[in-house]
Every structure is written in structure tokens, then in C-alpha cells.
Homo-oligomer: A and B are copies of this chain.
């Protein structure tokens, strides 16, 4: 990984464009799943107190995918995140100057940051409990929001989020999203709730289980989940070998 320069906030406003590609940013929609709810990780800006997607910039000699990985790493503390580029947003109105962002008091004149930006959107799937939400230099706070309760965000970030969700809903049919969103061991009802939450519709318990098991990428453990009321459900985990074999042959999820 390419090393990032250490800059103060004022330095960043004044001469960040010596290190980063101008007018190009990365925005990440980080999905998590907790207590039956689909969550996204959002940041709160210091100046306007408004919420936004975690984002960042691309170093002069950095791959855009690596920039996304770096941003994800910084906000969540995680490596090896499942990451997917989904769309690039290029409306000329996408500029901080037209949306009330303020420079630090001691920065005079124009800053590269107030220009119009094109942003490349990525979404990521992470295991909720492993994330350590960490604000960046622009932010007061970094926390999970229920996807259904996301507030009004800066710029076009609500639109970016919507597009990410659509993209995720399409990807759910050829990628086993549970692999990244759930803990290693999980129950079938938990997996089903995940799918129901992402797709926004109820699924038949029995047909769902049949479908999932028929793909042959799940391994049922001897253990059962203890502690809940009622009958203890089996625990499952993804079988990496079978999974990789299945993916090569083009996995199809007919949910």
C-alpha cells in the first residue's frame, strides 16, 4: 500500500492536490447487519453537522480500488473487505462550494477541495461486530444507521446510497452476501432475515433453506445455537472450498 502524506487540515485544504488527484473522490457505502436490520456506516461533518458517506481521495500513483480499500480500512479497522465498485457520479453540481462546506479559518483563497468532484462509488460488506467505527479528520462522529432511517445527507449522497442498495440487490443473486455480513457461525433463520432485509420482502422459511442448502456451499455444524427461547436452531458456516468451486462454475441464487 502507498503511504499517505501526513497533513494538517489546513495543509490538506491548501496543498492536498500535490498528493491527490484533483476533482476525483471515492465514496463508500459500508453495509453491515445487526439485530435484523441492514445498516450503513455514516460520518458527521464537523462544520455543518450534516451526515455523509465515508469517502476520500486517490493518491497520484494509487489504484482507485486501493484508495477504496484504504478508506474502508481507516473507517472500520478491517482488512480483506468484500468490495464492489458500482457507479461513478459525475454531475457538475457535485461541488462542496455549492453545498455549504467551509474551509478552516486560516485558509485563504481557493482550495482544490471546493472544485466540482467526480466520485467513484463502492459498496462494501462487513461483519458488524468486527467494525470499530472511526471518524476521519473532517468528522465529529462515525456510526451505524439503519438503512430505513438514514437522514438527509450532503450533496447527492442519498442518491449514491440508493444506487448502492440497488446494486447490492442485484448482486445478491450471484454472490453469497451472508459470507461477509454475518459472523462465521450463523443460523438459517439469521441468514434468511438477512436476505429478507436486503430484498425488502418475506421469504418462505422452508423453500429458503432448500435453496441455500442446494447450492452446496454451506456446512452444518454439530452445534446448535443456544440461549434463545424455543427450539435451538443449527449453526452453519460457509465452506470455503465448496464455495470457491461453486463460484468458478457461476453460482446462481434463485431467491
Contacts and interface: CB of A to CB of B under 8 A. Distances in A.
B90 A63 contact: yes
Interface string A5-41: 0000000000000000111100000000000000000
Contacts of A23: 21-22, 24
A192 to B, nearest CB: 24
A58 interface: yes
Number of identical protomers: 2
A217 to B, nearest CB: 22
A62 B92 CA distance: 6
| Chain A interface bracket (under 10, 10 to 19, 20 to 34, 35 or more) | 20 to 34
A88 interface: yes
Contacts of A85: 87-88
Nearest to A89: B64
A163 to B, nearest CB: 11
A65 interface: yes
B24 A120 contact: no
Interface in A35-92: 58, 60-65, 67, 85, 87-88, 90-92
A120 B65 contact: no
A116 B24 contact: no
A120 B88 CA distance: 8
A56 to B, nearest CB: 13
Given A85-B87, A87-B85, A92 B61 contact: yes
25 contacts: A21-B23, A21-B118, A22-B22, A23-B24, A24-B24, A24-B118, A58-B90, A58-B118, A60-B92, A60-B116, A61-B92, A61-B116, A62-B92, A63-B90, A63-B91, A64-B88, A64-B90, A64-B118, A67-B90, A85-B87, A85-B88, A88-B88, A88-B120, A90-B120, A118-B120
